[in-house]
Amino acid sequence: MKKGFTLSEVLITLGIIGIVAAMTLPSLIGKYQKKVTVERLKKAYSVLSQAIEMSVVDHEEVKYWNFELSTQEFMDTYLIPYLQKVASEDKASDYFSNTYALADGTTIQGWMFNTGNPENRDITTFFQIKVDINGEQKPNQLGRDKFIFYLFPIKSGWFNGGQGNIAKNVPGPGLYPDGYGYDRDRLKNDGWRGCNKSMHDESPSGDDVTQTAGAFCTALIMMDGWEISDDYKW
């Protein structure tokens, strides 16, 4: 006589499998999404770094670049010609450059921060590059799919963009992540730009803190060896 499973045994087994899957699947999906995010961010950083290196060949070192140009002029002169397969989209505002889409769907946008005051050049002149690793797709949030880098023109003890310090102890001209130079605790808990999810949740929508919360996530990922750690704002 052949032995088999009863219907109740099969249903119980399937139920247990379903419960285990429901418990583990979100974690697996989250880990996958984090890995994809890091890989895309790392690729964007590499693409920008290579573009800057090629631009240096034509325009000398970054310290000699003209940071008095308008945002769009700076993009058109020093970056766009050295990025492959770039498609231009509508301009977002008077402050930002056109948005440019790369071949993998990543978009980049520039912003020249310059007060025009030579005496404060070391802290008020720099070029921001905002990277969105999935283009127009949501959530469009700093630290999740949007990340910020800067082109600094000189060595400086600190740089400030009007919404908290953005970097310190910058050793020389070049490309740096938002939050460069700060320790891990500051990157996590800075009152303006910290990689801390609670600031998004607790701040009124549209205020300055909400707009900058998560900016330090770029430096945090790089500091952690291109990994999104368990205490990340995810």
For residue range 176-226, list pLDDT tens digits in order. 999 999 999 999 999 889 998 665 554 444 444 457 899 999 999 999 999
pLDDT at 61: 96
Cβ atoms 192, 164 nearer than 8 A: yes
pLDDT at 86: 82
pLDDT at 222: 97
Cβ atoms 80, 86 nearer than 8 A: yes
* First CA to last CA distance, the chain: 56
CA 188 – CA 94 distance, rounded (Å) = 31
CA 84 – CA 81 distance, rounded (Å) = 8
Q: Report pLDDT digits (tens) over 128-180.
A: 999 999 998 899 999 999 999 999 999 999 888 777 789 999 999 999 999 99
Q: Tell me if residue 230 falls in helix, strand or coil.
A: coil
Which alpha helices (H) appear in 60-164, and where do they start and end? 71-74, 121-124
Cβ atoms 192, 207 nearer than 8 A: no
Q: Where are the domains of the chain?
A: 10-223
Q: Report pLDDT digits (tens) over 52-72.
A: 999 999 999 999 999 999 999
pTM: 0.83
